[in-house]
Amino acid sequence: MYGMQNVKRKVALRRLGLLSCLLLIITVSYFQILNKDDKTMPSLNDNPLNVEEMENTEASLKKDKQRESVFRLGDQELLLSQDPEYEALVPFKESKVFYNNKFVGRAVIGESNNNITDEIVDYQRENATFFSLVRNEDFLGIAEAIQSVEYRFNNKYHYDWVFANDEPFHPTFIKVIQNLVSGQAHFVQISRDIWSYPDWIDQDKANETRHTMKENKVKYGDSVSYRHMCRFNSGFFYRLPIMKNYRYYWRVEPEIEFQCDIFHQDWFKYMKENNKKYAFTLAPLELHTTVTNLWETVQDFSRKNPKLVAKDNNMDFLTEDGGATYNMCHFWSNFEIGDMDFYRLEAYSKFFDHIDKAGGFYYSRWGDAPVHSMGVSLLLSKDELFFMDNSGYFHSPNGDCPWDPEIRKERRCTCLTKKDATWLKSSCIPKWFEIHDIEKPPFVPKYAFVNQHKPPDEEEEKENEDEYDDKDE
């Protein structure tokens, strides 16, 4: 079984008491990382922890600009070029954590109480991994997400975790994060050939698009790295060498949270045993200004490749007029569980290549959420899609909370139904139930789905986008 020898080795080491462990405890309230454009550090008057290190002179700030990215734990500074040993970290019982000279939280370093038992070693896991695309500055956000996933699910199953970054991971990031996960942790750097402009993109045209979107206040409209990320998540993450070792993936982003237990089921095993290829939990409306010509590009692919289109597909979920226009419904891809063997097949490979060559990742701002949504809806049978309900999943500003009080009790949910976005009128989940003739669960609102998307006037669109937070794509 994959990783068995490593797991058994861990068991032996723990039993002998020879493995040093590092545990990061995140406080509920912490200072957010300062805006990159804000060079002013908080004063001591604004700092309830009275951390003297937060006062920095102009000279020290100028010096920091010339240095490598740096973490500081207590009095110890760790540059990217350094690889700290556990012995160097253990003495700090309670430390303030800084990143690039900015206070980002507190960490307590001590012994881990995670134990790997014979029962866990013998569990037959699926060939699966969690996957997170993160950067060093996402340190606390991903730590919070890991703790939530481990507590609510993975502390029972101990699946692996792959972390990918377009920059080198900081050694301290690796040292801390790898001890928060209960499976094997892998850290990889994305090569520039899949995190850069492809040859066929007219960069002058792409620059004009970003300039226009910035003027129109389209969210992430002026970001180059955001577009690289969307393209990577749409068609390249599953091609990473490390990911080729796995069949299933579960995407986890920084700052997500599960507010209900979900360990009653091994969801990777559920996917395999029930022939599910793609799982989702939320389906909000996409921003109209970010998907220009995407629907037309997908329709063009369908006309040119009719044999690749699934007969009993899910395309009715994405349109209200028989396919003439896109209704903006999409699966929120910051949570998704998928079968990467599907992505590796000819159908999706041709689909992505067609989308990619159209240039919309750069000439518009196509996100991986609508691309994945259209890809799986077009190329898979609707029975191969899975709506994972009652998960308690939250990623601001949207979340899922079970309406059934018995489920909330059984799964120890801490969420509030008034914050549930699954059954809002702006959600497309009700449409999923209606078009597939599925009975809606008890306790949820029973109104018929009416698509709330109406292409607004330009000024209205700007206002709506300023209020909408969609970090998933």
Angle between helices 224-235 and 346-358 (to 10 degrees): 160
The DSSP element (H or E) to which 11 belongs, if any, is: helix 4-16
For 234, the token pair is 């749409």
User: CA 326 to CA 291: how far, in whole Å?
Assistant: 9
User: CA torsion sign, 49 to 50 to 52 to 56?
Assistant: positive
Q: Strands of 76-79's sheet, edge to edge?
A: 76-79, 70-73, 94-99, 102-108
For 387, the token pair is 């709506």
* 46 three-class SS: helix
**336 labelled catalytic:** yes
The residue with tokens 């998928």 is 338
| Helix, strand, coil percentages for the chain (3-state, nearest 5) | 40, 15, 45
Q: Using the CB atoms, write b or e for 198-212: b if 16+ within 10 Å.
A: eeebeeeebeebbee
User: CA 369 to CA 326: how far, in whole Å?
Assistant: 14
- Residues for the chain: how many in total? 473
* 205 three-class SS: helix
CB 54 within 8 A of CB 155: no
Nearest C-alpha neighbor of 252 from the set 411, 395, 399, 400: 395
CB 326 within 8 A of CB 319: yes
Preceding peptide of 306 cis, ω within 30°: no
* 250 three-class SS: strand
User: CA 420 to CA 424: how far, in whole Å?
Assistant: 8
User: CA torsion sign, 65 to 67 to 72 to 77?
Assistant: negative
Beta strands 160-165 and 128-133: pairing type?
parallel
Number of neighbouring beta carbons within 10 Å of residue 326: 23
Catalytic residue among 137, 150, 336, 473: 336
C-alpha distances (whole Å) from 260 to each of 73, 137, 389, 399, 446 are 32, 27, 11, 11, 23
CB 157 within 8 A of CB 184: no
Known catalytic residues are 336
